[in-house]
Amino acid sequence: MKKLLMVAVFLTNLAVFSQTDKDEATPKKLVQDFFEAFHDQDTVKLKSFAVDSMQLQSISKDAEGNTQVSTTEYSKFLKNIASIPAETNFEEKLHEFRIEENGLLATVTTPYSFYFNGNFSHCGVNSFQLVNFSGEWKIVYLVDTRTKEDCY
């Protein structure tokens, strides 16, 4: 009876550990980890979260109110993050996560407010497109909006 009880306890623990690993490999967790690395200026981790061909775009309005789309290579984004002086303080506060997952594809949308050296800079929405490669989510596309109006 003791052996049977020990086997049951072992199998229960094994099931709990396997669920923990699966729970961590979610689109939401990837985006949370992305922003943690972003705030830490950890470009090695940031690079690991995306495919090499990742596209990064921002949508904003110019002084005349015309919609502008700017595109940045992910490698340039990483260089920009690495070049931020250590004494500079920046924070992107995420207000919520909207997640739609469908097999190999997921979309994570995160409204945000951005602060630079403690001062409000802008707000908007991030939209991450993720693809699941053999159980590992990777960012393939990131587009965000930037405005100073209608913020949270």
For 84-127, write each residue's pLDDT tens digit: 998 999 999 999 999 999 999 999 999 999 999 999 999 999 99
Distance, CA of 107 to CA of 123 (rounded, Å) = 19
The answer to whether residue 106 sits within a structural domain is yes
The answer to whether residue 151 sits within a structural domain is no
| Residue 55 burial (CB count, 10 A) | 16
The answer to whether residue 152 sits within a structural domain is no
pTM for this entry: 0.82
The answer to whether residue 86 sits within a structural domain is yes
Burial class for 142, CB neighbours closer than 10 Å (0-12, 13-18, 19+): buried
The answer to whether residue 64 sits within a structural domain is yes
Q: ∠ CA 108-113-119 to the nearest 5 degrees?
A: 155
Listed range (12-21, 33-42, 70-79, 126-135) with the worst mean pLDDT? 12-21
The DSSP code for 81 is H
Distance, CA of 152 to CA of 140 (rounded, Å) = 27
User: The domain spanning residue 131 has which CATH number?
Assistant: 3.10.450.50
Number of domains in the chain: 1
Domain span at residue 135 reads 27-145
The answer to whether residue 134 sits within a structural domain is yes
**Length of the chain measured in residues:** 152
The answer to whether residue 126 sits within a structural domain is yes
The identity of residue 75, as a single letter, is S
